[in-house]
Amino acid sequence: MAETRLSFKEMCAKFDVTPRTLRYYEYIELLQPERDGRARWYGPREVARMTLILRGRKFGFQLEDIRQWLLIYEEEGTEAQMRAWIGMADRQMQELAEQRAQLDEAMAELKTLRDETAARLG
């Protein structure tokens, strides 16, 4: 069975990203498509990496952290990558909890000021 490969345009459509985003991910070496002249082809490896990149971005990870994490798989294998993921996830959950606390505080303060203003109006 032949490997499924996606063109540049198909890759953008599949992941709902702009061409600029896809080119940038290549530029910073998160993705390394096959090249045939000017055409780029993305195989299963690149599709899997893109899935992980976008999942990492959704959780708020920096692109450099994602790049380093992907390198662990290539250099040390799956188990080392999973161990690194646990550490990254723990740190990110702590960061998100801190952001949530700050957001809750800002919302409470905003509500208080809004209510005080509304009360002045009568």
Residues 6+ apart with CB under 8 A from 33: 8, 11, 26, 40, 41, 42, 43, 46
**pLDDT band for position 2 (50/70/90)?**
low
For residue 1, pLDDT over 50 is answered with: no
Compute CA distances 86 → 53, 77, 82, 96, 98, whole Å: 16, 15, 6, 15, 19
CA torsion through residues 9, 12, 18, 22, sign: negative
- Tell me: the pLDDT tens digits for 28-64? 999 999 999 999 999 999 999 999 999 999 999 999 9
CA 100 to chain centre: 19
**pLDDT band for position 4 (50/70/90)?**
confident
| CATH class of segment(s) 1-58 | mainly alpha
Q: Domain locations in the chain?
A: 1-58, 78-122
Q: What is the pTM of this model?
A: 0.81
